Amino acid sequence: MKFDLHCHTKEGSLDSKVPVETYARRFAILGYDGFMIADHNSYRGCLAWDRMMKKSENREEFKDLTVIRGMEYDTKDAGHILIIMPDGVYLPIFRIRGMRVRRLIPLVHTFGGICGPAHPFGVKTSSMMGFKSADHQLLSEMDFVEVFNTCEQPLANQLARELAEKYGLPGIGGSDAHTFRYIGMAYTEIPHRITCNNDLIHALKFHNDAEAGGIERVPTKKGKAKEHWVGLTAFHLYNHGLGKMKSPRRAIHHYRLRKDKNILTDDTGSDRP
């Protein structure tokens, strides 16, 4: 089955211009079996898809398309980490960016999810290998590596492949699309039947036979600016400052476990994205 496992929706990412419904229609035309919503610290795109699928006409139109509900989480000390939780598990704690990666990994695993670095050799401010915390133990605790990202250069993707091979982890690919023109520029082919999050989690945890590839886009001025020392400094100040302001340790006390739905909700009982 063919997927794009890294897509940002207009509903869930401030820097995306593509509605989740547009992704679905476009991937159906391109012959993909599905795609993964991976918004920045948000499940709003996933919840938008859930609302869409409550309508019978949408369920019929997209009955052959598998949409994975994921997230791209912004850690304090290891860049962007892709998270895939079991079906129906939306943890509100993930809405608070800036958690340390050593706290994030066991939290994901406790609730049955999997995680791995997005574009590990990309822009230093958002890529794991640009941080000092990228050690052997940390990588060995992860479940996969994004080995192909349309927004990265060939060398960065090649190094990501070598990283996955070194630690014996499956490699996935995604377009990291924020605009329409990048949809379908990357793929992950999995020789297993994937109909939901649980299927994908099982395939990546117990098999290492996914294949990823695609086309890298032309370098942009915005991408080059992120690598400049001014951009790097500004990002670190923003990331570390916000991490302290919204400490996961403080916030987690405001949540309780709803065992009947197997999700974390706040004290008001509302299920917020």
Rounded Cα distance, 120 and 66, in Å: 26
Residue 133: per-residue pLDDT: 73
Q: Domain 2-266: give its CATH code.
A: 3.20.20.140
Rounded Cα distance, 265 and 262, in Å: 10
φ, ψ at 246 (rounded to 5°): -120, 65
Burial pattern 119-145, b for ≥16 Cβ within 10 A else e, equals bbbbbbbbbbbbbeebeeebbeebbbb
Residue 132: per-residue pLDDT: 81
Question: Which residue bears the tokens 């509903």?
Answer: 11
Rounded Cα distance, 137 and 135, in Å: 6
Q: What is the pLDDT along the chain (273 residues), one digit of tens a residue?
A: 999 999 999 999 999 999 999 999 999 999 999 999 999 999 999 999 999 999 999 999 999 999 999 999 999 999 999 999 999 999 999 999 999 999 999 999 999 999 999 999 999 889 999 998 777 788 999 999 999 999 999 999 999 999 999 999 999 999 999 999 999 999 999 999 999 999 999 999 999 999 999 999 987 555 555 554 555 555 555 555 555 555 445 444 444 444 444 444 443 334 444
pTM tops 0.75: yes
Residue 125: per-residue pLDDT: 87
Tokens at 104, concatenated: 């994030």
Give the distance, in angstroms, between the CA of residue 17 and the centroid of all CA atoms in the same chain: 17
**How far is residue 239 from each of residues 34, 98, 179, 211, measured CA to CA in Å?**
32, 7, 25, 33
CB within 8 Å of 35: residues ≥ 6 apart: 3, 4, 5, 7, 23, 24, 27, 67, 68
Residue 169: per-residue pLDDT: 97
The domain spans of the chain are: 2-266
Rounded Cα distance, 38 and 72, in Å: 5
Decide if 79 contacts 127 (C-beta within 8 A): yes
User: 44-52 vs 20-30: helix axis angle to the nearest 10?
Assistant: 70
Residue 264: per-residue pLDDT: 45
User: Tell me: the pLDDT tens digits for 217-233?
Assistant: 987 555 555 554 555 55
